[in-house]
Amino acid sequence: TQLLEQSPQFLSIQEGENLTVYCNSSSVFSSLQWYRQEPGEGPVLLVTVVTGGEVKKLKRLTFQFGDARKDSSLHITAAQPGDTGLYLCAVGGGGFKTIFGAGTRLFVKA
């Protein structure tokens, strides 16, 4: 059983559509991070959320941390082909260790 469950696993949409992906757990976390991984590259940190209910925006991306700090969502408005990639959520695993979810693979068609 994964500590972090991400859904959907795969999403293919047309350019201009909106979408939301989710990261869920039964555990409470002090913070949660979202990474994006483009094909052939390593993950890159997008955002860190630390407060229950917190909303952070990064251009067309909106991140929300659940009130109980057990889950998070990532909403993309007017998706573009450049948004294509694997979106990973991650939490601290004790010390400096990080635990990653399996990711949502997004494909945006032009």
Partner 1 sequence: VTQNPRYLITVTGKKLTVTCSQNMNHEYMSWYRQDPGMGLKLIYYSVGAGITDKGEVPNGYNVSRSTTEDFPLRLELAAPSQTSVYFCASIQTGGAYNEQFFGPGTRLTVL
Backbone angles phi, psi at 87, to 5 degrees: -105, 120
Residues 99, 75: contact at Cβ < 8 Å?
no
Rounded Cα distance between 95 and 25, Å, is 20
Interacting residues toward partner 1 by CB under 8 A: 2, 9, 31, 33, 40-45, 48, 50, 88, 92-93, 95-103
Name which of 66 and 103 has its Cβ closer to partner 1. Answer: 103
- Minimum separation from the CB atom of position 2 to partner 1 (A): 8
Name which of 40 and 82 has its Cβ closer to partner 1. Answer: 40
- Minimum separation from the CB atom of position 104 to partner 1 (A): 11
Residues 94, 34: contact at Cβ < 8 Å?
no
